[in-house]
Structure 1
Amino acid sequence: MKLHYLYLSILLSVAFAIPAQSQDLAISGSIRSAENQQPVPGVTVRVSGVSNSRVSDEDGKFAFENLAAGSYTVSFSYLGYEPQRITLALPAAGSRNLSILLTPTSSRLQAVEIIGRKEQSYKNTASFSGTKTETPIKYVPQAISYVTKEVINDQQAFKTSDVLKNISGVNVYSFYNNDFTLRGFRAGNALINGLRNPTSSWSQSLLPNVERIEVIKGPASALFANTDPGGTVNTVTKKPLDVDRKSVSFATGSYNIYRITSDFTGPMNKEKTLLYRLNLAYQNAESFRVLQGGEDMVIAPSISFIPTDRTQVNVDFVYAKTKSRLDRGQPIFGASAGTDLNSTPISFAIGKENDYANELNLYTTASLQHKFTDRISFNASYMKFLYDEDLLEHRTSNRYAINADGEEIPTMMEMQTIRRKRKNYNDNITLYFVSDFNTGPLTHKLLVGYDYIQNVSPVGGSNYNAQGYRNAANNGAIGSYNPANRDDYLIRDNIPVPNVPHFDLTNPDYSISEISGYFNVSSPQAVTRYYVNGVYLQDQISWGPLQALLAFRQEYYVDILNYKKANAEEVQQQAFIPRFGLVYTPVEPISLYVTYAQGYQPQGAGTIGDPSRFGGPFDPLTSTMYEGGAKMEFLNKMLSINAAIYHIEQNNILINANDPGNPDLLRQIGQQRSRGAELDVYGQLLPNLSVTANFAVNEAIITKSEDADEEGNVLPNAPKHQGGVWAKYTFTIPALQGIGIGAGANYVSSRATLSDILTLPSYVVADAALYYTVDRFKLSANLNNVFNKTHWVGGYDFNRLFPGTPRNFLVSVGYEF
């Protein structure tokens, strides 16, 4: 019997010992750079069959504990290094003390963006927008701020206005597309991959196919023709990668949001000479605003062809369709000082159930780089852009209703209807040669180029409008009401009868309205065309720690009055535009710079060509900027900090003259000035802690005007202070493996509007997020405006305020394969 107990004890010991031994196996070690033998933190380490990856710590160390016996494939990947893969069979000697050497990649900078960015962090190292060739941002003598796709994804942003809060000196002006203030100046010009975007659309641009959003601070006319003095927004679309990456994501949340996005990229042949990328997205969503929301769709394929190391070609195609309604903002009661901004709820909008705004943005871009020699290359890009609009809206006439005595009724809005169909075509060609050469100790990168930009609104655009008040015979309408001629109008209950019924702010009626019951006026939209020819020269000169940038542009702008008519007339304007900059790098992580740049924007031919209507003659808009700053990289180049101070002046601004006898009369107010300082932070404080932060101080005022009372007035929607921060932390302790948290906040100080007696209050909005990654699945939950702060992001006047979104959430599940 004792012998049986002995055998049983041995068997139980063996049975329990085997799993104990298998669970004691591990794979661990350290990762160093093969170039300098320094530890490499932030490396992503994956082990086949293990659900969660690891990230190497500050000493380059990593560990996977409690593994079972068997064969494992271990992969190592990190930006700037060649990926590596090893195979181990556990148990194995040395599996707890692996020494991994990663080899830095020898990636060369591109002249035009053909292949996509492999970086997967909040930090972007290089940009094309500052110099037209890929240049490290720290060597560009001008502030360039950005938001990468990693920030876009972590914040689950879908439209441009969702992410510009991450950039210093940028504030929303309205809900409309590309309507922002940059360094205090209202901006409307925009670029896509450095090429002119006509920005005709009302709806915000969509982000599913966007690699990053860049803002070139200050005037950029020396490179991109007529641009705004405060800055230019450049959207960089995703390009193909030479590595396989595929992902799909589903999301839902507040306001009945349903969203699906996907991103597929990789080589199409084993030689990796043909690469592809395909981004698809669909969203159906309502809004906190009455009758707003709609459908959005994006189809965006991209192909890169690299037959040799001397020739590269990329072709992008983007189809972006939006079906929604045009949101003109929130009206409030009465136009008087002290009016409560909450007199109507922020959800309040004006319109009808049968309103719609169907918009199509369709464009294709082709880019070519060919190297004749190692020192001389030719670069060409072309974008063809179509905007198509089909619109019906019931909107205010930007006036409150009045009674027969001409007294304002503060709870009733005067209305109009607009039925419009139009198209707009834009062509942008840029051609330039780049030559690298030396003159003694100086190294040159000389760029000589030519731009052609054309914009055409073709025959067929048409308006069908109703507005004003009905005449006494009730067989027509008069554009506005004049109490001195009250007998000319149809009057009931001492109120002139409107052509389009007034909108009652106290008892809104959103029911279907048939516009055929109004007195409508049908009119064709003007057939227009303008084109720009520009030639430019730029030299980037390096001498030890000094780099100078010298650039000049000669621009010829031609706008055609009465285009396609017998009396067509060309209105020609031209400008010589210089730009100078100097960068000093005393030590590798720090660059100091100063720059001088001029900006130029021609006045429209329709304005300067009709002085009897608009007044004049008017001079073109010109601007001048002086800027200095520092660009720094820390923590093994994982973190960048950019600081800038600036002084910008803009001259010859046109505004309405408010002449009762001529409502179209314009006047130039002289000069506006913006002064300020900015700070932007991007990257990783730790391998598992990413951050983007910004802060700006700005004073944007009118400094010269024919009306002395205007001097010193603050520009609309230009906050004096604003800032924001967003951080993402991923836990590394085993008990919380795969869990991450995100949090951030944005502050905007009070802002002036177009009304002298209306100021928008300051606000702080906080956001938070929770992430969980298991295997290749990622679960995300974002809570925006955590404390449900009522705020206004921008505004025109008492008729058009633009409130921010209340507390809302979005949850998603994504899969990478």
Structure 2
Amino acid sequence: MKKSNSRYALTPLRIAMVFALGAIPPLVLAQENPASTVAREHYEIPAAPLNTMLLNIARQSGRVISFEPTLVAAYQGRAVHGNMTVEQAIAACLQGTELVLDVTANGTLTVTSAPQVLNVAPTNITATDAQLPSIAVNGSALSDDQLYYNPSNSSGVSRTDTPLKQTAQSVDVLSAKLLQDRQVTNLSDALKSSAGVQQTVGNRGNVSYTIRGFDVQNTSTNGIPNPGLNGTPIQGVERVEVIKGPDSIMSGSSTPGGTINIVRKAPVKYDLRTLSLEMADYGELKQGLDLGGALNEDRSLSYRLNLSNMKSDNATPDFDGQREVFVAPALAWEGDHTRLTVGAEYSNGRQAGPSSTVAFDGKIQKIPNYRIFRKDDGFRSESKTGYYEFSQDLIDNWSFNSKATYVDQTANLRLWQLFEFNRDGSVPYASPFSALTNTKSWSMQNDIRGKVQTGFIKHKLLIGVDYQHIVTVEDDRQVAGEAGFYPQVNLYNPDSLDSLPKIGAPNYRSSELRTQQRGLILQDQMDIGDRTHVLLAAKKAKWISDGTFYSSDGTSSTSDPAVAEKWVPNFGISFDVTPQMTVYANSLHGFTGSSAIDNTTKKLLPPLTSESKEVGAKFSLLDDTLTLTTAYFELQQNNVPNYDPVIRKTIGTQSQLSKGYDFTLTGELVPGWNIAAGYTHVKFSEPERVEGTASAFSTQPGDSATLWTSYELQEGRYKGLGAGVGIAAFSSVIGGTPSDAYDLPGGASTDLSVFYHAKDYSLTLGVKNIFDRTLYYGSTTSTFIPLREERNARLTFVYNF
């Protein structure tokens, strides 16, 4: 069983829920004060050139809207309809452009060019008055990433601010609004909104992701590759981008499935003060603070400060508690031709062991509490990050751009590993695992970008160089007599697990690994006429890796440097069939150096190479408020290490192939009704796999789907009150190995949410996996099968002061 059967016990969280739900109607009534609202009008302005729409809004509202005619001449505005303020009407027609509305303290309305598409402050204004009640806007820059589920741009693809509609690639953008509505608590939680991404948990607490069936080797933050699957805690995240296909231009080491790019919250020029409080099951309490604004009169110097502190007395299913502290200051300076952002991040936390079970004779076992570790087993981590982003305008339309990030991350793992089980639940063999891993990473990107025109062809050119250096040092523990038979331990008696001895600290250096990645990038994005968009890119990637390995007796061996070098080409083309429909095709390649050794030949394995072919279509529906992307893909990866689960060693390489199709639908169906949905179907094959070795695709469902939809009342006494529902579904798979396989059933998890959005605050109560279904992640062993999230509730209060 999972929790106490006392379903109606008055825990602190349940008491808080009762008060929160009871308080919503009086709060709604209290907000209905006509004297405090801004004047609204009914706008019905069809899509037209942006300058025409702005003039029509100014004429109807009687307000002066300042803008430079040459600045807006190139844009087509979106249709505006509904009852709204003049600020909301302007925000509606600006959606999808690189322009923002600047509202000064005295109410002056000015349309300007955004210095950065994502460098914005949160706002309560919406395009069709769909989300929030009337408010007065005072000094805000508006962005569709804060307002909509379907923002129109991505800075992560091809390193330029390219409209997603013109991007010849399938990209899932999980916007700030979607993350907030779903009460996302971490990166894994955020990625549930992308159907193409699957994840699982390892028996050492590590989370791994796949896109379209292939492992993701590392994430990136603001386009800079991270040394692993880590990144900024959710308090500092603006949005998450899932870039499908081997985007070697951005990451250099992307797998065939794609890349996960995390976008940080950036400094803002206008006052931002947000306080958040969250309460959840197991005594979890989290406080967050998000501050920003200008530091001088002309707003050339701005800042952002994010703080959060989370602590939980316990953790699912009945582990000791968890915690997380996060601090992230950032400063930005913008001159006439120069832009510089510098920032730092610090995080420190503890994560408990994962809920898990085992399988006997091909059947998954139901065990008490789904815990196979000691109560205080867990994973501690500390991360320190420093970064800068610099841009300098050169002559005409050329600029120099530079980014760099330094990461120092330490992970401390202490847990017992149970390798064998008898049918009665007793444990024939258990071993303690204690490891201290430190990773230092230096990453830099430098490029020169420019725009030129040759006849009817417009070029966006980029020439750049990349560099990344990673050093990983690991200390392990090996003490004779600690591993062995523990007859008192039984899976069906969780308390017996706590009789295992405490785990000591690591006692010897086990390895020192070094990896360098260098790249030369050449890229040309061409607009041929008004409807055809072409991407030609190539990267010369070079990998250098070596390492020193130690034994517990003090002996060591150093491997010769492994060097791999290759030109990696990418091609994409998109064509605007109509203003509402774009078709595209691409051929993308990936390349990753390998440090794995073939244990049969004792030779280094060749580098991994990959290729992706994709065709698709993108649709802008309902006056651009709804976006549909469909794609068919074929992926292949070569020289993949072939792992033998019996001897637990690599014995060669194999090829892996997948093909399938997917679609995503995001945006607003009618005013107040938002949706984010996706579906992915994949068929896998593995030629050349040695008989008896583990299948890399064994844990990947062939079908997966995700849905989140919410509706908010737009008029009347309960305006601002709404609800949302989400479903994540997946098909069944085969777990384990060919000699020890079991069925992992498919299933679906359902989330529910009720919320109220007011002028200065919002209140959200969400319940995940409301039907409390027992669902499993994939696993390639029968001695560890991780469980997905059980039912849990979360109450979130956000106050803008």
When residues 63 and 631 of structure 1 are mapped into structure 2, their CA distance, relative to the original with a 3 A threshold, is closer
Cα distance, 1:664 vs structure 2: 3.0
Partner residue of 1:374 out of 389, 396, 399: 396
Cα distance, 1:543 vs structure 2: 0.7
> Do 1:692 and 1:727's aligned partners in 2 also have CA atoms closer than 8 Å?
yes
The structure with the larger Rg is 1
Instruction: Identify the residue that residue 802 of structure 1 maps to in structure 2.
Output: 786
Cα distance, 1:436 vs structure 2: 0.9
Cα distance, 1:616 vs structure 2: 4.2
Report whether the alignment pairs 1:180 with 2:205: no
Paired residue type of 2:628? I
When residues 627 and 367 of structure 1 are mapped into structure 2, their CA distance, relative to the original with a 3 A threshold, is same
Give the Cα separation in 2 of the matches to 1:580 and 1:775.
Answer: 47
Cα distance, 1:648 vs structure 2: 0.2
Instruction: Identify the residue that residue 62 of structure 1 maps to in structure 2.
Output: 83
Give the 5 Å matches for 1:449-468: 449-458=464-473, 461-466=474-479
Paired residue type of 2:584? Y
Instruction: Identify the residue that residue 729 of structure 1 maps to in structure 2.
Output: 711
Give the Cα separation in 1 of the matches to 2:566 and 2:87.
Answer: 60
Q: Please give the TM-score of this superposition, normalised by the length of structure 1.
A: 0.80
> Do 1:149 and 1:211's aligned partners in 2 also have CA atoms closer than 8 Å?
yes
When residues 213 and 181 of structure 1 are mapped into structure 2, their CA distance, relative to the original with a 3 A threshold, is same
When residues 87 and 743 of structure 1 are mapped into structure 2, their CA distance, relative to the original with a 3 A threshold, is same
> Do 1:442 and 1:541's aligned partners in 2 also have CA atoms closer than 8 Å?
yes
Give the Cα separation in 2 of the matches to 1:759 and 1:808.
Answer: 26
> Do 1:114 and 1:367's aligned partners in 2 also have CA atoms closer than 8 Å?
no
Instruction: Identify the residue that residue 773 of structure 2 maps to in structure 1.
Output: 789
Deviations 1:506-527 (A, max 9, x none): 22324365458x9x99431212
Give the Cα separation in 2 of the matches to 1:736 and 1:581.
Answer: 48
Give the Cα separation in 2 of the matches to 1:26 and 1:619.
Answer: 65
Instruction: Identify the residue that residue 504 of structure 1 maps to in structure 2.
Output: 490
Give the 5 Å matches for 1:670-685: 670-685=654-669
> Do 2:569 and 2:589's aligned partners in 1 also have CA atoms closer than 8 Å?
yes
Cα distance, 1:720 vs structure 2: 1.3
Deviations 1:346-389 (A, max 9, x none): x3222224434220122122111111123111111000011112
Cα distance, 1:635 vs structure 2: 2.7
Deviations 1:592-635 (A, max 9, x none): 1100011112211xx33xx5677445322211110011122223
Partner SS for 2:686? strand
Give the Cα separation in 1 of the matches to 2:104 and 2:82.
Answer: 16
Question: Identical aligned pairs, as a percentage?
Answer: 21
What count of residue pairs does the alignment treat as equivalent?
705
Cα distance, 1:171 vs structure 2: 1.2
Paired residue type of 2:709? A
Give the Cα separation in 1 of the matches to 2:394 and 2:755.
Answer: 49
> Do 1:416 and 1:465's aligned partners in 2 also have CA atoms closer than 8 Å?
no
Partner SS for 1:163? helix
Give the Cα separation in 1 of the matches to 2:772 and 2:693.
Answer: 36
Give the Cα separation in 2 of the matches to 1:275 and 1:414.
Answer: 58
Give the Cα separation in 2 of the matches to 1:699 and 1:205.
Answer: 33
Give the Cα separation in 2 of the matches to 1:200 and 1:773.
Answer: 34
Deviations 1:461-500 (A, max 9, x none): 421135xxxxxxxxx5498xxxxxxxxxxxxxxxxxx266
Instruction: Identify the residue that residue 48 of structure 1 maps to in structure 2.
Output: none
Partner SS for 2:235? coil
Give the Cα separation in 2 of the matches to 1:77 and 1:283.
Answer: 39
Give the 5 Å matches for 1:586-605: 586-604=577-595
Partner residue of 1:168 out of 169, 176, 195: 195
Instruction: Identify the residue that residue 693 of structure 1 maps to in structure 2.
Output: 677
Instruction: Identify the residue that residue 532 of structure 1 maps to in structure 2.
Output: 517
Paired residue type of 1:422? T
Partner SS for 1:35? helix
Paired residue type of 1:552? A
Give the Cα separation in 1 of the matches to 2:594 and 2:38.
Answer: 70
Report whether the alignment pairs 1:420 with 2:420: no
Instruction: Identify the residue that residue 344 of structure 1 maps to in structure 2.
Output: 367
Paired residue type of 1:730? E
Give the Cα separation in 2 of the matches to 1:58 and 1:442.
Answer: 29
Give the Cα separation in 2 of the matches to 1:617 and 1:234.
Answer: 30
When residues 753 and 615 of structure 1 are mapped into structure 2, their CA distance, relative to the original with a 3 A threshold, is farther
> Do 1:763 and 1:791's aligned partners in 2 also have CA atoms closer than 8 Å?
yes
Q: CA RMSD in A?
A: 3.4
Instruction: Identify the residue that residue 649 of structure 1 maps to in structure 2.
Output: 636
> Do 1:613 and 1:664's aligned partners in 2 also have CA atoms closer than 8 Å?
no
Cα distance, 1:652 vs structure 2: 1.7
> Do 2:333 and 2:339's aligned partners in 1 also have CA atoms closer than 8 Å?
yes
> Do 1:77 and 1:84's aligned partners in 2 also have CA atoms closer than 8 Å?
no
> Do 1:178 and 1:190's aligned partners in 2 also have CA atoms closer than 8 Å?
no
Give the 5 Å matches for 1:654-673: 654-658=641-645, 663-668=648-653, 670-673=654-657
- Unpaired segments of 5 or more residues in structure 1? 1-21, 45-56, 65-72, 89-100, 402-407, 467-475, 480-497
> Do 2:631 and 2:661's aligned partners in 1 also have CA atoms closer than 8 Å?
yes
Deviations 1:78-126 (A, max 9, x none): 26352569999xxxxxxxxxxxx9875444667xx76678332212211
Give the Cα separation in 1 of the matches to 2:558 and 2:317.
Answer: 46
Instruction: Identify the residue that residue 7 of structure 2 maps to in structure 1.
Output: none
Give the Cα separation in 1 of the matches to 2:506 and 2:282.
Answer: 37
Instruction: Identify the residue that residue 27 of structure 2 maps to in structure 1.
Output: none
Give the Cα separation in 2 of the matches to 1:567 and 1:155.
Answer: 48
When residues 553 and 75 of structure 1 are mapped into structure 2, their CA distance, relative to the original with a 3 A threshold, is closer
Report whether the alignment pairs 1:118 with 2:137: no
When residues 114 and 478 of structure 1 are mapped into structure 2, their CA distance, relative to the original with a 3 A threshold, is closer
Give the Cα separation in 1 of the matches to 2:384 and 2:38.
Answer: 54
Cα distance, 1:445 vs structure 2: 0.8
Instruction: Identify the residue that residue 536 of structure 2 maps to in structure 1.
Output: 550
Instruction: Identify the residue that residue 148 of structure 1 maps to in structure 2.
Output: 175
Partner SS for 1:165? helix
Instruction: Identify the residue that residue 395 of structure 1 maps to in structure 2.
Output: 417
Instruction: Identify the residue that residue 12 of structure 1 maps to in structure 2.
Output: none
> Do 1:671 and 1:704's aligned partners in 2 also have CA atoms closer than 8 Å?
yes
Deviations 1:111-145 (A, max 9, x none): xx766783322122111221011111111111111
Instruction: Identify the residue that residue 640 of structure 1 maps to in structure 2.
Output: 627
Instruction: Identify the residue that residue 326 of structure 2 maps to in structure 1.
Output: 298
When residues 357 and 271 of structure 1 are mapped into structure 2, their CA distance, relative to the original with a 3 A threshold, is same
When residues 185 and 451 of structure 1 are mapped into structure 2, their CA distance, relative to the original with a 3 A threshold, is same
Give the Cα separation in 2 of the matches to 1:450 and 1:727.
Answer: 42
Of 787-796 and 232-241, more deviation after overlay is shown by 787-796
> Do 2:357 and 2:366's aligned partners in 1 also have CA atoms closer than 8 Å?
no
Of 281-290 and 636-645, more deviation after overlay is shown by 281-290
Instruction: Identify the residue that residue 338 of structure 2 maps to in structure 1.
Output: 311
Give the Cα separation in 1 of the matches to 2:562 and 2:343.
Answer: 34
Give the Cα separation in 2 of the matches to 1:234 and 1:579.
Answer: 19
Give the Cα separation in 2 of the matches to 1:296 and 1:454.
Answer: 28
Paired residue type of 2:194? I
Report whether the alignment pairs 1:135 with 2:126: no
- Unpaired segments of 5 or more residues in structure 2? 1-33, 62-77, 95-99, 122-141, 551-555
Partner residue of 1:746 out of 728, 737, 741: 728
When residues 673 and 778 of structure 1 are mapped into structure 2, their CA distance, relative to the original with a 3 A threshold, is same
Instruction: Identify the residue that residue 285 of structure 2 maps to in structure 1.
Output: 258
Report whether the alignment pairs 1:288 with 2:307: no
Instruction: Identify the residue that residue 196 of structure 1 maps to in structure 2.
Output: 225
Q: Please give the TM-score of this superposition, normalised by the length of structure 2.
A: 0.81
Cα distance, 1:588 vs structure 2: 2.1
Cα distance, 1:409 vs structure 2: 6.8
Instruction: Identify the residue that residue 447 of structure 2 maps to in structure 1.
Output: 432
Partner SS for 1:420? strand
Cα distance, 1:76 vs structure 2: 7.0
Partner SS for 1:78? helix
Instruction: Identify the residue that residue 379 of structure 2 maps to in structure 1.
Output: 357
Instruction: Identify the residue that residue 494 of structure 1 maps to in structure 2.
Output: none
